[in-house]
Amino acid sequence: MKDYERRLEKLRKDAAECALVRDLATEKAKREIFDRLALHLNQLADEIEQAVRASKAG
């Protein structure tokens, strides 16, 4: 379970870094790519978090 929590934390950090790069990017294409990466990584983290909660509950 700790492994999932570490991976979840890493995904959240990676998503935050992508959002930061997105916010600092001056090129539209780069902003769009890093926006999609941030959204995708947050979505993956949400799914892992739900799985961890489900396994703890049942």
What's the pTM?
0.87
pLDDT in tens, 10-45: 999 999 999 999 999 999 999 999 999 999 999 999
CA 16 vs CA 13, 45, 47, 54: distances in Å = 5, 12, 17, 25
* DSSP 8-class letter at 58: -
Question: Where do the structural domains in the chain lie, given as residue ranges?
Answer: 2-57
Beta strand segments in the chain, E: none
pLDDT of residue 50: 92
pLDDT of residue 12: 97
Identity of the amino acid at 58? G
d(CA 8, CA 2): 10
pLDDT of residue 38: 98
Q: Do 18 and 45 meet the contact criterion of CB atoms below 8 Å apart?
A: no
pLDDT of residue 52: 85
pLDDT of residue 22: 98
Q: Do 52 and 1 meet the contact criterion of CB atoms below 8 Å apart?
A: yes
